[in-house]
Amino acid sequence: MKAFLAAGAAAAIAFSAPAISAELVTNGSFETGNLSGWTYANVGGGTAPVVIAYNQAGNYPVGAFGEAIPTDVGGGNYAVYFSSDTANPDSLSQMVNVVAGQTYDLSFDYYVPQNGYNNPYDASLSFLIDGVQAGSTLTTGSPGGNTPPKTWEHFATTYTAATTGAVDLSLQFHGLGSTAADFAVDKVSMTAVPEPATWAMMILGLGVIGVSARRRRVEPSFA
C-alpha cells in the first residue's frame, strides 16, 4: 500500500511539474550576453536594442550612455537596453507555442536610467501577442511618464490562448521624440498557469509523501 501511495505521489508530481515550471521564452534573461533566440525589427530608424552588462558605465552599444545599471533584484549579469530617440518602434520578438484555452503568465523586470529620464521626450514599452497588446503600456520620461527612474520594477499580466500553435511574443519600444527616455529589461517570462486540478494533484502528492516519511520515522525497529 505504501509503495502504491508513493508511486501515485511521484506520478502526481511528475505530471504537474511541467505545467508549473515550463518556461516558454528562450534567453529571456539575456544571459547568453547577446540576443540569441530573439528577432529584431526596426521600422522607425535609430539605434538597435543591445545586451549590456550590469554595473559598468560604458557608452552605447556596450552600456547605457555612461550610466551603470544596477543588477536586477533576481540576479544575473545582463539586460537588454532599449534606447532609440527616433524608434517608432523597435521590437524584439520570438515565436512560442501555446494551447487553446490555456492561460499564461507574462512578465518582465524593467529599469529606467536617470540620464534617459531627464531627456525632453518620453518613451514607451509594450508587451504584444500576435500584435495585440497584453497588459498596460509602460511610459517613462519627463514630464509625462508614469515609471520612475533608478529602480527595478516588475511588469506582469496574463494571456489566454484562443488557438493552438505558434504565436509571436514581442517587446515593442517607442522613443517619442528626438531625445527620449530609455529602458533596460530583464527576465522576460511566459509560463502556463496551472489548472486547479493540477494544483490539487500536486498538493495531494506532497501530502502523501509527507505522511509516508513521518510514518517511517516513528515505526519501531527490531534487532
Residue 7 has pLDDT above 50, yes or no: no
pTM summary value:
0.81
pLDDT at 211: 42
Tell me: the pLDDT tens digits for 160-190? 999 999 999 999 999 888 788 999 999 999 9
Half-sphere exposure of 193 (CA within 13 A, CB side): 15
Q: HEC string of the chain? A: CHHHHHHHHHHHHHHHHHHHHCECCCCCCCCCCCCCCCEEEECCCCCCCEEEECCCCCCCCCCECCECCCCCCCCCCEEEEECCCCCCCEEEEEEEEECCCCEEEEEEEEECCHHHHCCCECEEEEEEECCEECCCCEEECCCCCCECCCCCEEEEEEEECCCCEEEEEEEEEEECCCCECCEEEEEEEEEECCCHHHHHHHHHHHHHHHHHHHHHHHCCCCC
Angle between helices 196-218 and 2-21 (to 10 degrees): 140
8 Å CB contact between 135 and 170: no
Give the residue carrying C-alpha cell 511541467.
18
Residue 108 has pLDDT above 70, yes or no: yes
Longest dimension (CA), the chain: 84
pLDDT at 181: 92
The fold for domain 24-193 equals: Jelly Rolls (2.60.120)
Q: What percent of the chain has pLDDT over 90?
A: 62
Tell me: the pLDDT tens digits for 134-155? 999 999 987 677 789 999 999 9
Residue 196 has pLDDT above 60, yes or no: yes
Residue 88 has pLDDT above 90, yes or no: no
Distance CA 49, CA 34 (A): 10
Name the residue ranges covered by the structural domains of the chain: 24-193
